[in-house]
Amino acid sequence: MGNVEQESESCCDGLVSWCFPEPEVEIDFRHIETRTGPRWVTPHTLTGGGLAGNDGEGIDGDFAAGFADNSIHTAKYTVISFIPRGLFEQFRRVANVFFLVISCLMIIGDYCGIFLTPMSAWTTLGPLTLIIGLTLVKEGFEDQKRHKADDETNHRPASVLEPQAFATPGECKYCAEDWQDVKVGMLVKVEDRQDMPADLVPLMSSEEGGKCYVETANIDGETSLKLRQCAATRSNGGVVWSTPGELAAAEVKVQIQPPNPSIHAFEGTLQMKDDPMPVPLGPHQILLRGATLRNTKWILGLVVYTGNESKLVLNSRKAPSKLSIMESQVNSVIYFIFVVYFALTTLTTITRAEWEASNAQSMWYICENFENSGNKLFEDNCSDSVGYADVSYWFTFLILFSNLLPISLYVTIETINIFQAFFIDQDLEMYDTELGVAAMARTSNMNGDLGQIEYIFSDKTGTLTCNEMKFRRCSVGGKIYGQGVTEPSLDDSVKLSPSMNTSMSSDLGGTGSLSQDPGAATLAEQGEPMDCLAALSLVALGSRATKESMVAKSFLENMAVCHTVVVELNEQTGVALYQAESPDEEALVEGAKSLGWEYSTKLFDSTLVNIDSKGEVSYMVMAVIEFDSTRKRMSTLVQMPQTGAYKLFVKGADNIIAGLAAPDGFNLVGGKEMLDAHLELFATDGLRTLVLAERDLEETEATAWLGAWRDAVTATSGRAQVMEGVAKQIEKNLRVVGCTAIEDRLQDDVPSTIADLGTAGVKLWVLTGDKMTTAIHIGHSCRLLNKDMHKLMVSVDPIDESAGPPGPIDEQLAAAAAFLENNHSAAYAAADDLLGEPNPYGIPDADSMKAWLASFFMPCLGGEQAVGAAGSDTAPANVALIIDGPSLTTVFNDDNLVEQLLKIACTCRSVLACRVSPKQKQMIVRMVIRGSKTKPTTLAIGDGANDVGMIQEAQIGVGIRGKEGRQAVNNSDFAIAQFRFLKRLMMVHGRWNYRRMAKVIVYFFHKNIVITAVIFFFTTNCAYSGQSLFEDYLYAGYNFFLGVPPFCLGFFDKDISEKAAMTYFPCYAVGREKKDLNVRIMSWMMVHALIEGSAIYFLCKAAYMGSESIWQGGTGDTADLQVFGTIVFSVMITAMLCKVVILHYTWNVLCIAGIVFSIWLYFFFLFVYGAWYSMSEAFYWVPYHAVHFAPFWLLCFLMGSGTSMADVIIETARFYLSPKYSDAVREVEHNPKSGLPCDGTSGPEPELPEGHGSSPSLNPIQTSQHGFSRGGRAGDPGEIGADEHTSQDSSDSEIFMKNLTYRPSSSRNVKSESAVSAVPAESAGTDGR
C-alpha cells in the first residue's frame, strides 16, 4: 500500500547475526526444479478436451501419471491414521508422556515386583485415557467436518470438452466430470459465476478479443474484477479458433513453470502445430483455481496445474506455529516442577535409607533385619519374605508424588481458550454495522497474550485510514487545482458540459473561493497559483491550443488511459461501476471522469474515453508495463487518436519519475523546484501523491521497441529480468506534466485509540510505504506525534533543502544517539540495559540475579512501576524517531547500526518508518523481538498482503477486514473491522483473559502442591514406607472433583467491568508487566501451598489423634488409616473450593452452580464408591464411618475455611496499607452513589470500607505518560491539575486525561499500577480537554 522504496537485495544478506542468526535467503522460484527439465504439457496430440494418443482415446496414461490429481485433501486424519497419528499428537506434550511413564511404572511394579507400587495403575492410566480420549473425540469431530468439505469440493461438476478428430463449426460434445477427475491437458468449460476447477490457461472466450473477467475473493479476498486475456494465438493478438469445435481438434503444446505458490507470477509459452511462433503466457493468461468467472458468458481453458500443484493449494500453507506466552510460561513452570519433583523423590529416597539403617533392629517384627532379631520363630517365617532394594523406593516415591503435576491442566486451558475466543466472536461492541462483520478469534490460544502487549506495529493505509481514496487536488503545468480536503466531494461537484464557457471561471476558481480555505489563502499570499478542480477541465477543453491547455489535456489523458481498471455493468440497474485492483487507481479514473474524461470501456486493443464536447475517443493500447512494488510505476504505450502518433503515459512515485525525467523534463511544470514544493504541500495535508509524465516516440522507435517487448514477454527463462530491461529502454527522457493528490481519511476514533493505547503504556510503531512528509502529517493527525515532541529524522534524502544534503546514515544515527544521551540520559541508559544478546537457555548472570532478588524481596503489595524503553522502569523520552526505507536498507547491512537503531527506537516514545517495503516491515518486528534480552510481546496489525510478513512475525497478528483482500486476515490470529476495535480487544478481552488464565494456572499448581505436601508429611509419619494416605481412586479423582470451578473462573471472572477497562487504561499494566504470572507469584504460591498443606495435615492429625476414645466409643468402630485419609482428603477439597471462591471477583449463577456441583460430585462419589464392596474392599463403608462422628464435619467446615483465612488477612492488609490502582477503580464501580465516569467527567468520590479515615477521589489533573501525582487535591495550590483546561503538557501529545489521586494520609500510600500515568481516558473522539 502506498509508494514504497525499492529494497536492496543485499538487505537480508547483510543482516546482523546477533539479531538475525539465520538470514532468510529468497530463492527465485524459476530455478526450483521439481522435475527434470522444464515442465511441458506436451501430449502426442491435444484433441478436444483431453490429451490423446494417436488413437484419440483421451489422456495418455503415462503422461497423466506425471502430474498430481485434482482432488483436495485438507483433512488431517484418515480412518487408518486417526488412532496412531492422533496418539502421536497427544504425546507430543510432555505432561502426557510423563503420566504415561508413571502408568507404565505402576504396571511394572504391580506385575513384576521390582519395586513397591503405592497405587493401582488405573488411578493414573484411567484419567489419562479419559483425557486423551476426549481430546481425540474433539479432533475427530473437527476432522470429520474437513472430510465433508473436501468431499463437497472434489465432487463438484466440471464440463470437459471431448476430443474430436476434425474441426467442426457446429456444436461439440461435453462430458461431465467431477473436479477430482479433472486432469492436466483437459479443456474445461467454465460459465459465468462458476469457479475454476483447476489452474487454467484460457484459450477461448465468449467476449470480443478473448477477454474475460474474474473475481479472486476466494484467493486473496479482493472483490474487484480483474481482466484476463486468452492466449494470443492470432498474429494480431486475437484468438485463432472461432468455434469450440475447432479448438476440440487443435494440437498445441505448452511450456510452463514448475508449480509454485506465487499467485501473481506465471510464465510459459504456447505453441500450435502449424505455427512455429511461440505464444507468450503471463500472469494475465492464467485463471487460478477458486477464482470466479464474472461478466463473461463462458471460457474454455487448458488445465495446467491440478490439485496440490495448483497455486491456491500451494498458498494454503499454515501460518508459522506460534506458542502463546501463557503456554510458554506454563511450560517453564512445569520444567521447574519437574526439577522439584525429582529432587523431592531423591531426597525422600535418601531419607528413607538413612531412617531404615538407623531403625532396622527395631523392625524385626515386620521382617526388617530379621536375621539379627535373635528370635527363631521370626527367622524361620521371614526367610521367604521378599524385600525391596533401597534404590527401588525411588520409583515408589516417584509414583507417590506424581500428582505434583496437574494432569488436567492442558485440557482445562484449551477449553477456557475456546470459550474466551467465543466471547470475542460474539462481542457486539466490536461488530461493524457498515460492513456487517464481527471480530473473529482465528487462534484461540492467544487470548491471554492480548493482555500483555508491549509493542504494536501498525500499517497506515487501510489500517489507520479508511482506504477510501478521493481525488482532491493536483498540480498541472505548475498550477495547483483543488482547495484541500475540505472541498466538497467530486461526486457532488458540477459536471461540465459542452455548453460551459470561460465565463464560469470566476464562479469556479475566483479569488473569493480561495478566501474560504485558510490553506488556500496562505498559498495566495505566497503567490502560488490556485484554482478549483473544475477549472482544470475548462483549461483542457479550451478552444485555443495553448501550452497550458495542452499540458492539462495530457494530464487528464494520462489519468483516463494509463490504468488497469475494469468497467462492470450492473445488469439490473444498467449502471457502470469501476473495479480496480488499487483504490488509488480507481480514485484517479473517477477523478478524470468528474473532470470530463470518462473512461467508458476497454476493448481488446484499445481504451475508449468519452470526452466532453468531443464524444467517444479510442486510444489504441500497444503495450502495458504494469505497476509493482519494485518498479513503483506503470506505463502504457498508446497510439493517439486522429494523429496516430505514439505516446507513452507513465505514472509513479515522485522519486522514481524524477530519475527517469529528461534534463528539461520539468519545464512544463515550472521546474523541479516548483513540483517538489507542490508535492510537499500535498504531503503536509496528508494526501497521497503520484507524478504523471509522458514521452512522444517516433514510429520507428516504437515499432522496434514493440518487437523487443514481444520477445521479452515470450522469453522462456528469466522473463522478468528481460522485461525489466526492455522497459527501461522506453521509460526514459520523460516529460513531467503534473502530480495528483489523493485523500485517504482516518478511520473513526483512530486518534483517541492511539492516545488511549499510549496511556496504557503500549508503544505504537507505524510502518508505512508513504513518503516521509505524508507520514509525518498523518502521525500528527492520529496523535502519534505532537507539537512538543522532538523528532529525530534519519533519511537518505534531504529533509530540509536549506540544510543541504544529509550525512551518512551512521553519522545520523550517532547524532540521534548523542542527543538522547545528553537530553534523556535515564531513558537511554534504561534501553541499553534491556538490549543485547538473547539468553536462549535462560541462565541469569550476576547482575540479573541481583536484580531479580531485589525485586523478589521488595514488598509485593504495591502496584506496577512505570515502564519505559522496552519494559524498563524509566519512561520513554518524549521523542519520535522517523526513518525511511533506504536508510533501513543501509542499517540492516551493519550489525552495529542495527543495535544502535534499536536502542534509539526503544528510547523514543513513537517510531514512524516511511517508504518501507513489506520485507522491511517484517525485519523491523523481528529486530525488536530478537534484539532484546527479554522477548517483548508484540502485536502487528494490517489489512493487505504486504502486511502478512510482519503479522506472521509478531507474537500476535491482527488483520483488518479492509478493501485490499483477505490475505492479512487469513494469516492473522485475530480479525477486526476497524482499528478502533483493537482498543477493546486488548483492554477488555485481553486484560480479562490474561487475569483469568493466570488465576487458573496458579490455582492448578497450588492445589496439586497442597496434596503432594500432605502426602509427603504423611510419608514422614509412616516410616517412609511408600504408603499412600488416600484410597487409590479417591486420590485419582482429586483433579476431577475440583475441575469445574476453574472453568467458571476462566470463563466469567472480571476484576473490573468493561466500562472501567475502557476508561481507566492504566489498569492494562497488570498484564503488560506480567504481574499475575511470574517467578515471584509462582514462588509465593509454592510457599503458600506448602504452609497450607502442612496446616491441613498436622491439624487434622492432631484432631484425629485426640479423638481416639470418641472414635471407638463402644461401637466397635476403629480410627483406621482409611478413615483418617478420607477426613484429610475432605478437608483438602473444602479448602481448595474456598480458595477458588476467594479468587473470584464476580459471581453469576453458573459460578455458584460450579461450586455446588463440585461438592455434590465429591460426596456422591464418596458414598457410592464407599458402598460398592466389589470395587474396593478396603474402602467399603469407610465414608459412613467418617461422617458418623462430629470431628469430620468440624474439620471439613471449620478447618477448610480456616486455611483460607490467611488469604483474606493478607489481601485485607494489602488493600488498606498499599492499595493498587485497580482497587480504587473497583471502589468507584461498587459505590452505589456514583456512576462510572466513562464520559471523561469526574464522578462522586468513592468511599473506602468502614474503618479508614480517607477516601480516594477522582480529580481531573494533567498527567504525563510516565507520571503519577501522589497526594493532594486537584485544584489545591501548586497542583498541576488545578485547571483541567490548562495545556502545559510537554510529554504526552497534548492529551489531558483524568487521574485517580488519593488524599494524603499517614496510613495509606497509593502506588501506581501502570507503566504510565494512572489516568482514566477521555471519551473517544475528544481532544482530551
Q: Check residue 835 and report its DSSP letter.
A: B
User: Would you say 483 and 514 are in contact if contact means Cβ atoms under 8 Å apart?
Assistant: yes
Per-residue DSSP letters for 1222-1285? HHHHHHHHH-TT----TTSPPPPPP-PPTT-S--EEEEE----TT----SS-TTSTT-TTSSTT
* Assigned C-alpha cell, 794: 534519519
For 686, left (φ over 0), alpha (ψ -120 to 50), or beta? left
Provide the greatest CA pair distance for the chain.
136
**Strands of the sheet with 615-625, listed across from one edge:** 530-531, 479-481, 470-476, 735-743, 688-697, 646-652, 633-639, 615-625, 606-611, 597-602
How far is residue 153 from each of residues 1, 158, 217, 290, measured CA to CA in Å? 34, 11, 17, 10
Closest CA to 455 of 1062, 128, 939, 921: 939
User: Would you say 838 and 848 are in contact if contact means Cβ atoms under 8 Å apart?
Assistant: no
Phi, psi (rounded to 5 degrees) for 727 = -60, -35
Q: What is the C-alpha separation between 881 and 1293, in angstroms, rounded?
A: 15
Per-residue DSSP letters for 415-450? HHHHHHHHHHHT-GGG-BTTTTB--EES-GGGTGGG
Q: Position 526: which residue type?
A: Q
User: Would you say 333 and 253 are in contact if contact means Cβ atoms under 8 Å apart?
Assistant: no
Query: 790: part of which helix (H) or strand (E)?
Result: strand 790-794
* Assigned C-alpha cell, 1150: 453458573
Distance in angstroms between the alpha carbons of the first and the last residue of the chain: 34
For residue 208, give the 3-state DSSP assignment: helix
For the question of residue 847 being annotated catalytic, the response is no
Q: What is the C-alpha separation between 252 and 42, in angstroms, rounded?
A: 8
Per-residue DSSP letters for 106-142? HHHHHHH-SS--SS-THHHHHHHHHHHHHHHHHHHHH
Q: Catalytic residue among 427, 459, 517, 973, which?
A: 459
Which string of b and e fits 779-818 if b means at least 16 CB within 10 Å?
A: bbbbbbbbeebeebbbbbeebeeeeeebeebeebbeebbe
Q: What is the C-alpha separation between 570 and 558, in angstroms, rounded?
A: 27
Q: How many CB atoms lie within 10 A of CB 474?
A: 29
Pairing state between β 735-743 and 688-697: antiparallel
161: which strand partners? 174
For residue 1142, give the 3-state DSSP assignment: helix
Closest CA to 553 of 450, 476, 489, 492: 476
Considering just the CA atoms, what is the radius of gyration of the chain in Å? 38
Q: What is the C-alpha separation between 669 and 746, in angstroms, rounded?
A: 31
The number of angstroms, rounded, from the C-alpha of 542 to the middle of its chain's C-alpha atoms is 54
Q: What is the C-alpha separation between 449 and 830, in angstroms, rounded?
A: 25
User: Would you say 635 and 624 are in contact if contact means Cβ atoms under 8 Å apart?
Assistant: yes
Tell me whether residue 436 is exposed, middle or buried, using C-beta atoms within 10 angstroms of its C-beta: 0 to 12, 13 to 18, 19 or more: exposed
Query: 470: part of which helix (H) or strand (E)?
Result: strand 470-476
Query: 939: part of which helix (H) or strand (E)?
Result: strand 938-942
The catalytic residue positions are 459
